[in-house]
Amino acid sequence: MPKVLVSDKLSPTAVQIFKDNGVEVDYLPDVGKDKEKLLEIIGEYDGLAIRSATKVTEKVIAAATKLKVIGRAGIGVDNVDIPAATAKGIIVMNTPFGNSITTAEHAISMMLALARQIPEADASTRASKWEKNRFMGVEVTNKTLGLIGAGNIGSIVADRAQGLKMKVVAYDPFLTPERAIDLGVEKVELDDLLARADFITLHTPLIDATRNIIDGAAISKMKDGVRIINCARGGLIDEVALKEGLANGKVAGAALDVFLEEPAKGNPLFDLPNVICTPHLGASTTEAQENVALQVAEQISAYLNTGEVINALNFPSISAEEAPRLTPFVKLAELLGSFAGQLTETAIKGVRIEFEGEVAGLNTKPMVAAALNGVLKPLLGDVNMVSAPVLAKDRGIAVETVSREEQSIYDNLIRFTVLTERQERSVAGTVFGGGSPRIVGIKGITLEAEATPNMLYITNEDKPGFIGRLGTLLGQLDINIANFNLGRVEQGKDAIALLAIDQMLDDAQLEQIARLEGVVQAKALKFNV
């Protein structure tokens, strides 16, 4: 009988789920805070169920000689050393969809509290001041709510805001026009949202593309008297710029549940009267905590009893029998998706994944999940192979798969096509003997390239002298070329250059390359290979 340790507080119902599924369980909710005790006993267990208090460090994982699975009741896994767990073959799971309603409701609560200055009015009234004229509020009815991020949580916020008779405009690179219609929101560009919104609420992950998405420049484009709510991630807002906007009156108020540094102590925003702050309470309701506890118990039990993998952060949903044969194709599919995702800057309407030859006869579901993970990760960041199909569905991205067992010129081929509002772009690859994935076609142009950690992708005019100019410029920039791959439609038409380089290009270097005569597009690509 498998044995599980619950080292943080979980509901009695969750503990009973383990027992009902034939799993022996030790409920020791204080062990997570006792590092020495955890190290002493962890070697007895096949599974570990945690919240945020337990720190599953490399040292703990080294001592976990029997451990097969770690389940986090909640979404964040900052307290788990995932690389160490992966190296030891331990599955790490979370419960990414149990807190959505709770977080959305908190954002709406913060918006209403901000509109009516409720926390400050409460403090004033308790001090017997009775300052009715001081706390003149604003209605939310008929106001415009700007939604930055229209995924699972953002779509719930949109629904609740519409119930309050607000007009909702949304900026999300992955929001299709069809999905926007389904949500009842108007899809807009970021600058349009900033100019029109009376209230702005953020519901996007923190990645390079969204870091400081609300900075001084963004605030300058906003309406005078705008109110900003952030219950998503610290770092989405430049706190220094926000403080300046609040102080000079450009921003009428801000409501923040998350901060750049947490726990937030002595934050300069705390001194401002028009700021409402809460200590990362987005997921803190009885219902949400119960939901994620029950989910993690079900997930751990399923894995220990049947090998089923649900919401894994470090392992695809592949059976033990399939793994050796499928793994190279899963890696190829993720590579192709990542390639397309890094080149895509507009909303994705749909994707098409084609399997040809031997690969068409295999279980393609994990390959589809891997490809979606690859294409979504550059813009969403917090994505894994299990959550990617759900996130694609939430954004109205149509996913089409085609399998043809007849071979082309390769024994096996995967072609990944992205359909956006502007264009259709495809990238194809194959797995050579020994399991090595290769890119063999881009936008219908044949070339053969091995993926490396840092690459430079260029579309250019096929004219004499271009390769020499490019090589000379890269030499001047001190960029070493490891491999140079070329392809073209026909003489004098569109051409592609795909270069493996020894280091990542910075923005200034990439800008110089983009200005080079003959360059149509230049893009720095990064792959986890």
Residue ranges of domains in the chain: 3-96+287-306, 100-277, 316-451, 454-523
Q: Which of 253, 251, 258, 252 is nearest to 278 (CA)?
A: 258
Percent helix, strand, coil in the chain, to 5, is 35, 25, 40
Is 233 marked active-site? yes
pLDDT at residue 318, as a whole number:
61
pLDDT at residue 492, as a whole number:
62
pLDDT in tens, 424-480: 889 999 998 777 889 999 988 888 888 899 999 999 888 888 899 999 999 999 999
More confident residue, 492 or 522: 522
pLDDT at residue 422, as a whole number:
79
Whether 414 contacts 367, CB under 8 Å? yes
Average pLDDT of the chain, as a whole number: 91
Q: Which range, of 21-30, 55-64, 144-153, 437-446, averages the lowest pLDDT?
A: 437-446
pLDDT at residue 221, as a whole number:
98
Say yes or no to pLDDT of 168 above 70: yes
Cα angle at 148 between 143 and 153, to 5 degrees?
A: 95
Q: Which CATH architecture has domain 3-96+287-306?
A: 3-Layer(aba) Sandwich (3.40)
Measured CA to CA, the distance from residue 128 to residue 144 in angstroms comes to 35
pLDDT at residue 316, as a whole number:
63
* pLDDT interval class at 382 (50, 70, 90): low
* pLDDT interval class at 40 (50, 70, 90): very high
Say yes or no to pLDDT of 407 above 70: yes
Q: What mean pLDDT do residues 44-73 have?
A: 95
Give me the catalytic one of 51, 160, 179, 233.
Answer: 233
Say yes or no to pLDDT of 30 above 60: yes
Measured CA to CA, the distance from residue 527 to residue 529 in angstroms comes to 6
Burial class (CB in 10 A: 0-12, 13-18, 19+), 189: exposed
- Per the rule left: phi > 0, alpha: psi between -120 and 50, beta: everything else, 128 is left
pLDDT at residue 443, as a whole number:
87
Say yes or no to pLDDT of 320 above 60: no
Say yes or no to pLDDT of 35 above 60: yes
Whether 341 contacts 374, CB under 8 Å? yes
Q: Output the CA torsion 145→146→148→151 (10° steps).
A: 40
pLDDT in tens, 100-134: 899 999 999 999 999 999 999 999 999 999 999 89
Q: Tokens 């992950």 correspond to what residue?
A: 205
Cα 51–chain centre separation: 21
Q: Which range, of 57-71, 191-205, 493-507, averages the lowest pLDDT?
A: 493-507
% of the chain at pLDDT higher than 70: 98
pLDDT at residue 363, as a whole number:
87
Provide the pairing of β-strand 69-72 with 47-50.
Answer: parallel
Say yes or no to pLDDT of 309 above 90: no
Give me the catalytic one of 116, 196, 280, 325.
Answer: 280
Q: What mean pLDDT do residues 168-187 have?
A: 93
* pLDDT interval class at 310 (50, 70, 90): confident
Say yes or no to pLDDT of 140 above 70: yes
Whether 523 contacts 343, CB under 8 Å? yes
100-277 under CATH 3.90.1010.10, yes or no: no
Q: Tokens 């490019």 correspond to what residue?
A: 470
Say yes or no to pLDDT of 403 above 80: yes
% of the chain at pLDDT higher than 90: 66
Q: Residues 6 or more apart from 83 whose CB is under 8 A from it?
A: none
Is 280 marked active-site? yes
Say yes or no to pLDDT of 304 above 60: yes
Residue 199 DSSP code = E
Q: Tokens 């949304």 correspond to what residue?
A: 170
Say yes or no to pLDDT of 272 above 70: yes
Q: How would you label 148-162 residue by residue, b for 16+ Cβ within 10 Å and e otherwise?
A: bbbbbbbbbbbebbe
Say yes or no to pLDDT of 511 above 60: yes
Give me the catalytic one of 40, 58, 139, 262.
Answer: 262
Pick the CATH number of 316-451 from 3.40.50.12660, 3.40.605.10, 3.90.400.10, 3.30.1330.90: 3.30.1330.90
* pLDDT interval class at 146 (50, 70, 90): very high
Same fold, 100-277 and 316-451: no
Whether 56 contacts 48, CB under 8 Å? yes
Q: Which range, of 235-244, 292-301, 416-425, averages the lowest pLDDT?
A: 416-425
How long a stretch of residues is the chain? 529
Say yes or no to pLDDT of 201 above 90: yes
Q: Which CATH superfamily is domain 454-523 in?
A: ACT domain (3.30.70.260)
Count of CB atoms within 10 A of residue 345's CB?
12
Q: Which two tokens stand for residue 83?
A: 């690389």
